[in-house]
Amino acid sequence: SKKSSPNPEKNAVLPAQNANKQGADEKFHQHRTDTLVAPPAPKKSASNPQRNAVLPAQHANERGAGDELHQHANEKHPALTTNQGAPISDNQNSLRATPHGPTLLEDFVLREKITHFDHERIPERIVHARGSAAHGYFELTKSLAKYTRAKILTEVGEKTPVFTRFSTVAGGAGSIDTPRDVRGFAVKFYTKEGNWDLVGNNIPVFFIQDAIKFPDLVHAVKMEPDRAFPQAATAHDTFWDFVSLMPESMHMIMWAMSDRTIPRSLRMMEGFGVHSFRLVNTEGNSIFVKFHWRPKLGIQSTVWDEAVKLQSADNDFHRRDLFEAIESGTYPEWELSVQLFTEEDAKQFPFDHEDATKLIPEELIPLTVIGRMVLDRWPDNFFAETEQVAFCPANVPPGIDFSNDPLLQGRLFSYLDTQLSRLGSPNFNQIPVNAPKCPFANLQRDGHMQMHVPKGRVNYDPSSLQGDSPREEPEGFRSAAISAEQGTKQRVRAESFADHYSQARLFFRSQSKVEQAHMASALTFELSKVGTAHVREAIVGHLRHVDQELAKRVANGLGLANLPHPPHAALPPIDMKPSPALQLIGKMKETLEGRTVGILVDDDSDAATVKALRKMVEKAGARVKLVAPKLGVKLDDGKLTGVDGQLAGTPSVLFDAVAIVLSAEAGKRLATNGSAIDFIRDAFGHLKAIAADEGGQLLLKAGRVIKDAGVFEATNAEGFVKAAKTRQWEREPKVRLLA
């Protein structure tokens, strides 16, 4: 029986088809079964058939019972309604005066839907707009009861829910995932005593010492105001102009120009609370603390050329990586550590720990591991959770307190303030992702979008009329009793903040040779994008205070005839003992866990070799993705094999190591294929381990890959996997000119 509308091209896409998608996407296309309202029977008005779009369910039925594609045994769709709850009979056509006449103002279904849509966007974050987040838990493994009364830091074994958002800083919400940029690392712990937000970065220091400079820094780093570019990049005049006039940023610049700002994965980054905080115990005594997150998978970065190519291969590389890890059950995990130190310890440091441009070397104050965080659930809805989450460093439970770091003090104000305008109401704390998971009550009332319906007459304190009105809690939050120093009120930078170069030098000199070369090259690259000569020269002048050799390398890269004069330094830098803990490559964990290996195959590839490689890679905790010129190939065992990526759209930058398993015939064929040559050349250039069989060797030859210790026969799966656990750093000088 033919029941379809006379206008079939106007029909909506069948959800039934979406539901058929396989794999990780599935969750997002499943039809909800927790229906509250039964679906209305589709009406088929005989009088006006052209007004009725074909309802998906109805359409699906037409295909007949035998069609598996369109069957949903458990489906029970709720009725589609307006926001007022009125069921909607037609969601395809607006209300028109006549079949060819004007649309009527009366159409409340159309007006409500379009109006809501018109207001779907909210202002993006002024910084850290681009982010990805996940739910999980924090488990304490070591009690800090001696130092704090915060239950989150004293109840060993207790699992506290968390929501963690990673972000880039400079780019807009739709910008790329892999620019050279600092990464935000913000954790909201839903503790029993209120939310604790540890709003940190993947770098332990910051560009500026005083919050009053933050708007200038951000204006300088974001796209330039007249031309609106570059997006998500520090490599432009305004940023370096600001930096050249702000010597305190030199330490952070060293970090920003290191490989820390081009991470391989959000799962492979360290996180830092940056500022010193205080812990306060039951006696009211306090101690200083710095917080560190360390990833279980070890830290790992990309190489710069790879980060650049990732931008075209996959704009969402980090978001997808986090999503896929969580969906596949390989949950990212970090250790939480603390550095604890007293006022007396602090007096001995050759720097002021309340200056956020300084770190405390691990060699000076060691790290103590106190717990772990596991992220095990992707948000159900990006906007409701990742976009609407509001972090604020001022959110602390009793037992955690602030230091006098003037950057932190400014942040304590800024976050709540920005969220009032970003989320549009002082009631944003009632949004599910922001609401505490412990009971909360106060006498704040009303405002836009108030969700609570308070009962009774009492909305003030003190009061005596109502037995259940909220009252002060003697055990509640108390600031640490710190005696204030004597002095005059003034706008001032403490003298102890005057040394801007010692730790920049400490960081540079603590790096391995490879990392130093990357930093010199990054500086050269960034400054080469700066059009103003005096800015380039001023930066090289600052570098002379950091390290003469570094200054020379960058000056050479920029083609400067002479080394510019260093600017006046308020305090000459001191030589601190190098801290190997500040390295990235030196500290990298040799592991393939959580990584991905790409195997390039084609028709007639050796199935046994692919199988053996896969086995070895998976044993090492990594996963394999097959890449081929087409999405399905027949290996030499005659079986049709599904492929994860089509060659032209799946370059080797997406993998941590690659294998090429090809028949001689396919090797010859692909030797003239641009994507195949790029695949192998980039893998080689990005210092990855490579395995190739006979056919694969033809491709290596075509790509002019000169075999080295990181290139293996495909039969040597063991050697290949061992080498894949790190990068082939010795290869680098052969493939790239570094500054």
Question: Interface residues with ligand HDE (CB under 6 A)?
Answer: 125-128, 131, 165, 167, 184, 186, 199-201, 206, 211, 214, 274, 356, 389-391, 407, 410-411, 414-415, 418-419
Buried b (16+ CB within 10 A) or exposed e, 688-712: bbbbbbebbbbbbebbebeeeebbb
CB-nearer residue toward ligand HDE: 402 or 684: 402
d(CA 493, CA 498) in angstroms, rounded, equals 8
CB-nearer residue toward ligand HDE: 392 or 622: 392
The residue whose Cβ lies closest to ligand HDE is 184
> If you ran DSSP here, which 8-state letter would residue 80 be given?
P
Please count the residues of the chain.
739
DSSP string, 5-62: -S-GGGPPPPHHHHHT--GGGHHHHPPP---SSPPPPPP--SS-GGG-PPPHHHHHHH
What is the closest distance, in whole angstroms, from the C-beta atom of residue 554 to ligand HDE in the complex? Answer: 26
d(CA 214, CA 411) in angstroms, rounded, equals 10
Contacts of 283 by beta carbon, 8 Å cutoff, 6+ apart = none
What is the closest distance, in whole angstroms, from the C-beta atom of residue 356 to ligand HDE in the complex? Answer: 6
What is the closest distance, in whole angstroms, from the C-beta atom of residue 32 to ligand HDE in the complex? Answer: 29
What is the closest distance, in whole angstroms, from the C-beta atom of residue 293 to ligand HDE in the complex? Answer: 12
CB-nearer residue toward ligand HDE: 104 or 245: 245
Please give the distance of CA 370 from its chain centroid, rounded to a whole number. 24
Bridge partners of 634, per DSSP, are 640
Specify burial of residue 581 (Cβ count, 10 A radius: 0-12, 13-18, 19+): middle
CB-nearer residue toward ligand HDE: 203 or 262: 203
Query: Side chain identity at 294, as an amino acid letter?
Result: R
What is the closest distance, in whole angstroms, from the C-beta atom of residue 219 to ligand HDE in the complex? Answer: 12
What is the closest distance, in whole angstroms, from the C-beta atom of residue 292 to ligand HDE in the complex? Answer: 12
Instruction: Please confirm, yes or no, whether 219 is among the known catalytic residues.
Output: no
Report angle CA 318, 238, 202 to the nearest 5 degrees.
Answer: 30
Q: Is the dihedral of CA 100, 104, 110, 115 positive or negative?
A: positive
| 711-713, strands of its sheet edge to edge | 645-646, 623-628, 596-600, 657-660, 690-692, 711-713
CB-nearer residue toward ligand HDE: 14 or 420: 420
What are the phi and psi torsion angles at 496 (to 5°)? -70, -5
CB-nearer residue toward ligand HDE: 405 or 515: 405
What is the closest distance, in whole angstroms, from the C-beta atom of residue 272 to ligand HDE in the complex? Answer: 7
What is the closest distance, in whole angstroms, from the C-beta atom of residue 354 to ligand HDE in the complex? Answer: 13
Q: In which residue are the tokens 């002082």 written? A: 426
Query: What is the CB neighbour count within 10 angstroms for residue 726?
Result: 21
Please give the distance of CA 218 from its chain centroid, rounded to a whole number. 19
Q: Which two structure tokens, joined as six digits, stand for 3?
A: 């029941």
Bridge partners of 187, per DSSP, are 164, 198
CB-nearer residue toward ligand HDE: 418 or 716: 418
CB-nearer residue toward ligand HDE: 210 or 306: 210
Instruction: Select from 727, 682, 621 the least CA-distant residue to 313.
Output: 682
CA 63 vs CA 1, 53, 72: distances in Å: 10, 17, 13
Instruction: Please confirm, yes or no, whether 72 is among the known catalytic residues.
Output: no
Query: Side chain identity at 417, as an amino acid letter?
Result: D
Catalytic residue among 59, 128, 292, 545: 128
Grouping H, G, I as helix, E, B as strand and the rest as coil, residue 500 is: coil
d(CA 186, CA 133) in angstroms, rounded, equals 9
Specify burial of residue 379 (Cβ count, 10 A radius: 0-12, 13-18, 19+): buried
DSSP strand E in 212-343: where?
A: 271-272, 277-280, 286-295, 333-341
Catalytic residue among 52, 195, 201, 281: 201
CB-nearer residue toward ligand HDE: 25 or 216: 216
CB-nearer residue toward ligand HDE: 355 or 678: 355
Q: Which two structure tokens, joined as six digits, stand for 568?
A: 């006046």
What is the 3-class SS of 580-628, one letter each residue? HHHCCCCCCCCCCCCCEEEEECCCCCCHHHHHHHHHHHHHCCCEEEEEE
d(CA 675, CA 721) in angstroms, rounded, equals 24
CB-nearer residue toward ligand HDE: 55 or 127: 127
What is the closest distance, in whole angstroms, from the C-beta atom of residue 284 to ligand HDE in the complex? Answer: 27
So which residues are the catalytic ones?
128, 201
